[in-house]
Structure 1
């Protein structure tokens, strides 16, 4: 049951006006039946690819979070703005998305996913005799580093995170 609650909320938060928590739960339930994860355990490659690609996608997200908080945001947090959907909030950016973060996820995600899939594909096709599939084991670290660096670069080139206070108290993350 605990593994059901989080995906239900995740799907619901994609579009709260259109997707209720119950509908989000149904999407998660149907998706899990379609994906049939219980069949993955009969194939070693399927589990390896699944975990490799999952890590390759989570790594860039972590790198962007670290870059956003430490390098770009200078460890400043506008707590009130984190919980608002108003376009005037510090974290609204462009229609609620930071284009620099989206570009960073796309670039670093593609590269880190390629590090999982391409070495095995080249080996299986006979294009190479060198077994470089070990590279995929580091897809999370590769994605994390690339996500951090690309986001930092895009924010330096075209900043979206505004560090100027609007007369609002800034929190450094410490509890009072």
Structure 2
């Protein structure tokens, strides 16, 4: 999941924002080490009890209230679906531009390609996600190979790694550099905020706690940092070659006068984007929407809802610039950070890692709370989200927004612990 275009663009946005390559790599590594902590903690229940995220979150929010964090996660996934569809549409448009240069001056091309790629995703959802199983086996390796080809080409054009990586940071003051660093760090954490919640969906299949911890500790920071370096290096090279940092690989490929290389690279982006979009941004929200009312909302209907909401979120605006992209990551981290804080607090501090699995699948008193909702969790969630996002509206509280995930995570977690009486929560210990 680290081997995708949005990872490249996340890294390149730091260079476009003014960092040098060392600052960018350090920010990415630190952000991934930080988000690894809640990811490993939330993964514990999946590995221990074999339960997925929608079931695990019932312990803290209630059997019915669990739909609240599930829908929050689903809405964020819808936004990512729209973003990936926009990237796929851009790739198709860029391929057409390579084959027919006259189309560069036709603005309608990008919109036709975008809507066409969106429709292709909807067709796959209708046919069933198994229809792209073949792509899942080749997309990441294919994209990695083509990314390395792009890196080699840019290194050659820039005259080697020396000129490419010698560019200094472009901040006018130390305070400006630190502000961008903390905003970017929150964006790094926000990038994996959804997976830090639903990681039990994957670790429920882990053989042991050791395997999930070691696997994540190696897989996330190492793979993410190494692949991000490609984006950082290519964007740094674009400054040397073209006189400006080009953060989008699609735009960068469009500057090439090597039609074959550009075409193959764009094909790899298209394949990887289709694979990631279906696997990461359709399955989860489709199941979440279906879970709201299984009789009325099937998986197919949930998938169509995902696609339509993704359109309504206007991904072309979210991806209009690197600042919009980072702002998107920081903004939704303020929604999901509080959920992660409540889940960690409930499992480790309130329940001491003990769950009554049978009751999680029933409308029982153990996790029923008040008509299926845990009002304490909802209060903690609302307070955390409010504190994390209020800075976007009130300028004097802007630092709270810059640290949105951290503010929401710690505030909601602490409030939840303060509000929940342990004595009243002794989940069954007879497993």
TM-score using structure 1 length: 0.76
* Cα distance, 1:75 vs structure 2: 1.8
Partner of 1:24: 302
SS of 2:282's partner is helix
Post-superposition Cα deviations, 1:96-145, rounded to whole Å, max 9, x if no partner, equal 221111111001110111134433xx5xxxxxxxxx75543321111111
What does the per-residue CA deviation read over 1:65-117, in whole Å, with 9 as the maximum and x for residues that have no partner? 11101111122111112222x2x252222222211111110011101111344
Structure 2 unmatched ranges of 5 or more: 1-277
**Contact preservation (8 Å) 1:11, 1:24:** yes
Hey, what's the Cα distance between the residues in 2 that align with 1:68 and 1:118? 31
1:148 aligns with 2:429: no
8 Å Cα contact 2:388-2:408 kept in structure 1: yes
1:77-88 to 2 correspondences below 5 Å = 77-84=355-362, 86=363, 88=364
The 1:57/1:161 distance shift into structure 2, 3 A limit, reads: farther
Structure 1 unaligned residues grouped into runs of 5+? 123-131, 171-176
Kindly provide the CA deviation profile for residues 128-172 of structure 1, in whole angstroms up to 9, marking residues without a partner as x.
Answer: xxxx7554332111111101111111113xx6962053xx624xx
Corresponding position of 1:92: 368
Q: Which residue of 2 aligns with 1:174?
A: none
When residues 164 and 42 of structure 1 are mapped into structure 2, their CA distance, relative to the original with a 3 A threshold, is closer
Question: 1:137-176 maps to which residues of 2 (within 5 A)?
Answer: 137-156=402-421, 162-163=425-426, 165=428, 169-170=430-431
Task: Give the ranges of 4+ consecutive aligned residues of structure 1 lying more than 4 Å apart after TM superposition.
Answer: 132-135
Sort the Cα spacing of 1:73 and 1:161 in 2 relative to 1 into closer, same or farther, 3 A: farther
SS of the equivalent of 1:42 reads coil
Equivalent position SS for 2:319: helix
1 or 2, which has the higher helix percentage?
2
Larger CA Rg, structure 1 vs 2? 2
Whole-Å separation in 2 of the counterparts to 1:96 and 1:164: 16
What is the SS of the residue equivalent to 2:420? Answer: helix
CA distance in 2 between counterparts of 1:161 and 1:18 reads: 36
Are the counterparts in 2 of residues 93 and 161 from structure 1 also a CA contact under 8 Å? no
Query: Quick one: distance in 1 between partners of 2:399 and 2:417?
Result: 28
Deviates more, 1:72-81 or 1:39-48: 39-48
Whole-angstrom distance in 2 between the partners of 1:151 and 1:143: 12
CA distance in 1, matches of 2:303, 2:390: 31
SS where residue 318 of structure 2 aligns?
helix
Residue 107 (structure 1) aligns with:
383
Q: Determine the C-alpha separation between the residues in 2 that align with 1:43 and 1:11.
A: 31
Which residue does the alignment assign to 1:55?
Answer: 333
Q: Is the 8 A contact 2:334 2:389 kept in 1?
A: yes
**TM, length-normalised to structure 2:** 0.33
Contact 1:49 1:117 in 2 (8 A): no
Which is worse superposed, 140-149 or 32-41? 32-41
